[in-house]
């Protein structure tokens, strides 16, 4: 069953999503060569908790971090570590926050320092695929409509679409029904209605779509070790479209802005 959220739930989901958007904006200031992924994790946790939220992924299914941080050929579910970011790395931050029992979930990919043109394009194109997927959303659309729109952009640029990992419903748990694959056929799959909340999250690879899991039992990598990008928003389905709950155009409090 895909839950239709009431106004009270939607307001809590909006607040959780806002904190996720703010956290991305906050953390972005620290993404520079030399910082460790563990330090980014620590800063994100501190920020999320300062906003009256908890980290959705901390301990989820036993995950040993507060947010997921994946670098270059790592697709998703990277564990924060002492690994230091280097100039030209692609770092993916997947951030979840829980406000009064309701979650927001958004992943974004960033270039550390100066990126290679092919990596910059990979990021632009994966974000384009996310926005194309979102554009397919309205009352009465199907998950296949969304997946088809994402896949169309990926195919246009000859990028590999990771199929084993998918978007999902979001609410009083971070992962709920339905699955929202990044591939599919128009008019197929579960129908979405006004009041449903889902995360759409394309993971696109420069090379093969195939993936494997590292021995840490968490980190998913591309089979050919080529780079991968991940972009995700949590959205509310509305009568005519969608509302992004994890918006990125949110304003940080002046006290949250780190001075050089």
Question: Site residues (CB under 5 A) for Mg ion?
Answer: 94, 105, 107, 199, 201, 232
Q: Which is nearer to Mg ion, 125 or 168 (CB)?
A: 168
Tokens found for residue 243? 């509302």
Q: How far is the CB of 111 from Mg ion (least distance, A)?
A: 19
Q: Which is nearer to Mg ion, 93 or 154 (CB)?
A: 93
Q: How far is the CB of 245 from Mg ion (least distance, A)?
A: 12
Q: How far is the CB of 168 from Mg ion (least distance, A)?
A: 6
Give the integer Cα–Cα distance in Å for 19 and 27. Answer: 12
Q: Which is nearer to Mg ion, 237 or 257 (CB)?
A: 237
Q: Which is nearer to Mg ion, 85 or 97 (CB)?
A: 97
Classify the C-alpha dihedral 15-62-176-6 as positive or negative.
negative
Sequence-separated contacts (24+) of 107-110 with Cβ below 8 Å: 107/68, 107/76, 107/201, 107/230, 107/231, 107/232, 108/24, 108/230, 108/231, 108/232, 108/248, 109/229, 109/230, 109/231, 110/28, 110/31
Q: Which is nearer to Mg ion, 224 or 250 (CB)?
A: 250
Q: How far is the CB of 117 from Mg ion (least distance, A)?
A: 27
Tokens found for residue 41? 């994790």
Q: How far is the CB of 165 from Mg ion (least distance, A)?
A: 9
Give the integer Cα–Cα distance in Å for 180 and 81. Answer: 30
């Amino acid at each position: 069953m895909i839950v239709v959220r009431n106004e009270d739930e939607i307001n809590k989901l909006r607040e959780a999503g806002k904190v996720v958007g703010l956290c991305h904006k906050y953390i972005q200031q620290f993404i520079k060569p030399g910082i460790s992924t563990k330090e980014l994790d620590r800063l994100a946790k501190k920020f999320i908790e300062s906003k009256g939220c908890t980290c959705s992924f901390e301990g989820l299914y036993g995950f040993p971090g507060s947010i997921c941080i994946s670098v270059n050929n790592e697709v998703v579910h990277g564990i924060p570590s002492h690994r230091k970011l280097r100039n030209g790395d692609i770092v993916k931050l997947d951030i979840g926050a829980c406000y009064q029992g309701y979650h927001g979930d958004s992943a974004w990919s960033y270039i550390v320092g100066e990126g290679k043109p092919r990596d910059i394009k990979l990021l632009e194109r994966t974000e384009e695929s996310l926005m194309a997927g979102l554009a397919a959303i309205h009352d009465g659309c199907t998950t296949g409509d969304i997946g088809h729109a994402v896949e169309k952009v990926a195919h246009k640029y000859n990028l590999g679409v990771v199929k084993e990992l998918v978007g999902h419903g979001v609410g009083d748990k971070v992962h709920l029904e339905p699955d929202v694959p990044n591939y599919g056929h128009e008019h197929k799959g579960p129908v979405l209605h006004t009041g449903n909340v889902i995360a759409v999250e394309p993971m696109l690879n420069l090379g093969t779509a195939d993936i494997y899991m590292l021995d840490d039992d968490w980190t998913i990598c591309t089979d050919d070790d080529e780079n991968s990008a991940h972009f995700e928003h949590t959205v509310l389905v509305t009568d005519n479209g969608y509302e992004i709950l994890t918006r990125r155009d949110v304003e940080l409090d002046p006290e949250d802005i780190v001075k050089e």
